[in-house]
Structure 1
Amino acid sequence: MTRNELDDLIRQGEHSRLEFKRQLSSAARIARTLAAFANSGGGTLLIGVADDGRIIGVSSEFREITTLEEATDRLIEPALTVSYKTLAPDGRIVLIVTVLESNEKPHYVIQDKTKRTIYVRAKDKSVPTSKLIQVSGPADAELLQSPTVRTLHQYLRKNDHITADRFAKLVNISAYRAGKLLRQLADRGVVLLVDKSRPVRYVLKLGE
């Protein structure tokens, strides 16, 4: 990758397949991002770049790589293979980490001896989900073209997430029906269920 290619990448801003980090704070935290990329459509992690796109550089390339390898080898199951290279614009080292969509997904992030969580990408965030939907064919076309689902889709393009209560008010149906429809859409891989909070939230499926 050249300096111009790096600048072009940074200008995109963070999104479902691109994330910036000044430095890696811990293997546990970066494991979520790496696993989410692998479980979704793949992605690129730029270490040494601030959230606003400024190139900061890392103080120790060795320390960052050591943290990465701890995450990929010890904290993600099955272990994850990533590739990385460095670029030093103006003498500041940027570590460019590439994660391909995995053929072994789902990859779990190991949080303790008994707890493993699947992470996926939703917009520019890595979010936990209860299961990884493997969609074997297109979701029901009639359902996807319904006014209710189109309204949901438009809402999630502008907002990070939706709850059953908010969806019910948005389309003027009961909370029970809204929750049932959201679960149905999650089962079909149209939206993703984020199950680490109450009330349960749903986010737009990657690439939508």
Structure 2
Amino acid sequence: MSIDINNVIGQPEGETLEYKAVLPPSKNIAQLISAFANSSGGCIVLGALDSGNIIGLSSDFHANIIVNKAIESLNPRPSVQHQYVGYQNKNLYIIQIDKSDKLVFLEEGFYKRHGNSTQLENPIKIEFTVSGDKKIINVNTQLDDYKKQATSAKIKFIEHYQSILKIMDDLGIILYPSDPKQATSNQEGKVLTRILFSSLADNFETYLSDLLYEIFLAKPQSLKSQKQVTIKEVLDCSDLQEL
């Protein structure tokens, strides 16, 4: 690895540098790698706060497996070097990304760096019918705002919720033929309503599983400790470092 870690630690986050105190899920790492590759290249330091304070990242996390999974989800695969590096008697995990000649995509699109933030450049925009229920549109707008400060697991859950809103908008004639405030009385509408609610409930279970996995990656002992943590605290969490 060509990077000199001594010249990196302590530098502020920016277009070519990102600090992470914990090991994010592979999806988050893939987004960061895509962003750096599609911009000017850069470096991700795992095990350090953005202030440059060193926390360290245990080798028990098997970061190589997580990072390799992230790289495999990218198309085309960019040039990436990654390894553990010793610094101040602690282990850091460094991911160095070269600038790519071609856009590097994930399933949902491609990312770029803008200052110290990573942004999806071509998000899929959900279009609602002009004559549809305005409450559906308002709820969708609120969900977009929630996604700006959400964990990867929460974003996945919210996007499923938005897909259900889109179905409700498209099939309003079946779900609420008379009035959005009045439930349908026809059998087809009742069946579809049950399916949508069931889908939302199933997705919530998946969300909790994904969130627990994110917590485990961030701090494995959290799931083994005797500390009381409420469901509200978990659901309100926008940054896993808070836990």
Change (3 A) 1:61 1:120: farther
Q: For the Cα contact (< 8 Å) 1:23–1:64, is it kept in 2?
A: no
Q: 1:16: Cα distance to partner?
A: 0.3
TM-score where L is the length of structure 2: 0.47
Q: Structure 2 CA distance, aligned partners of 1:8 and 1:61?
A: 27
Matches within 5 A, 1:123-134: 123-130=115-122
The one-character-per-residue Cα deviations of 1:101-133 (angstroms, maximum 9, x if unpaired) are 012x211122xxxxx2110000001101129xx
Which position in structure 1 is the counterpart of 2:43? Answer: 44
The one-character-per-residue Cα deviations of 1:147-193 (angstroms, maximum 9, x if unpaired) are xxxxxxxxxxxxxxxxxxxxxxxxxxxxxxxxxxxxxxxxxxxxxxx
CA RMSD, aligned part only?
Answer: 2.6
Structure 2 unaligned residues grouped into runs of 5+: 124-143, 146-243
Change (3 A) 1:61 1:45: farther
Q: Structure 2 CA distance, aligned partners of 1:24 and 1:117?
A: 23
Partner AA of 1:88 in structure 2: G
Change (3 A) 1:61 1:34: farther
TM-score where L is the length of structure 1: 0.54
Q: Structure 1 CA distance, aligned partners of 2:82 and 2:27?
A: 19
Q: 1:33: Cα distance to partner?
A: 0.5
Q: 1:60: Cα distance to partner?
A: 1.9
User: Is it true that 1:81 corresponds to 2:86 in the alignment?
Assistant: no
Which position in structure 1 is the counterpart of 2:98? Answer: 100
Change (3 A) 1:108 1:37: same
Q: 1:85: Cα distance to partner?
A: 3.3
Structure 1 unaligned residues grouped into runs of 5+: 111-115, 132-196, 199-208
Q: For the Cα contact (< 8 Å) 1:61–1:95, is it kept in 2?
A: no
Q: Structure 1 CA distance, aligned partners of 2:27 and 2:52?
A: 24
Q: 1:55: Cα distance to partner?
A: 1.1
- Percent of aligned pairs sharing the same letter: 27
Q: Structure 2 CA distance, aligned partners of 1:70 and 1:117?
A: 17
Structure 1 runs of 4+ aligned residues shifted over 4 Å read: none
- From the two aligned structures, give the one with the greater strand fraction: 1
